[in-house]
Amino acid sequence: MSPTLNELSVGQDIGTRSIALTRQDLVKYAGASGDFNPIHWNEAFATSVGLPGVIAHGMFTMGAAVQLVTDWADGAAAVVDYQTRFTKPVLVADSTGTPDAGATLEVTGTVGALDPEGGTARIDLTVMAGGLKVLMKSQAIVRFA
């Protein structure tokens, strides 16, 4: 059941989610998105261009993070705007034979603002990976019926 606008208050927590990422996830996303840039799957190439290793696609990270909001709002149709700034790459370690490798996104959502006239709430997301904030000003606008 989705929340209603009058049940919300600024600062209210909407939830937290941990999202495990592997290089296999990146390859699947590359196939779905058509973004086959080798920085997203080839360690040698990624380091040759100055990156610390293979990094997740920015749009993959952005989409994974907003899933917290769409689940809370009971569907993607409620999200009428979503913006973010990419600040740090999400490093995804090779998980071959290492069950704890890859990366983990930690996503927390809070109500940042309410607009009763417009029937919307701004949800602010904090998105961390490896102890670093990887998205800044990550905000989704949710419209309520």
Q: What is the pLDDT of residue 101?
A: 75
Q: What is the pLDDT of residue 95?
A: 72
pTM for the full predicted model: 0.92
Q: How many domains does the chain contain in total?
A: 1
What is the span of the domain harbouring residue 133? 5-143
CA–CA distance, 89 with 51 (Å, rounded to integer): 9
User: What's the Rg (C-alpha) of the chain?
Assistant: 17
Q: Which of 38, 25, 40, 32 is nearest to 91 (CA)?
A: 40
Task: Tell me the CATH number at 75.
Answer: 3.10.129.10
pLDDT in tens, the chain (145 residues): 678 999 999 999 999 999 999 999 999 999 999 999 999 999 999 999 999 999 999 999 999 999 999 999 989 999 999 999 999 999 999 877 666 679 999 999 999 999 999 999 999 999 999 999 999 999 999 999 7
How far CA 100 is from CA of 11, 20, 81, in Å, comes to 33, 10, 34
Record the tokens describing residue 137, joined without a space. 């000003």
Q: What is the pLDDT of residue 145?
A: 79
Q: What is the pLDDT of residue 2?
A: 76
Q: What is the pLDDT of residue 1?
A: 65
CA–CA distance, 81 with 60 (Å, rounded to integer): 17
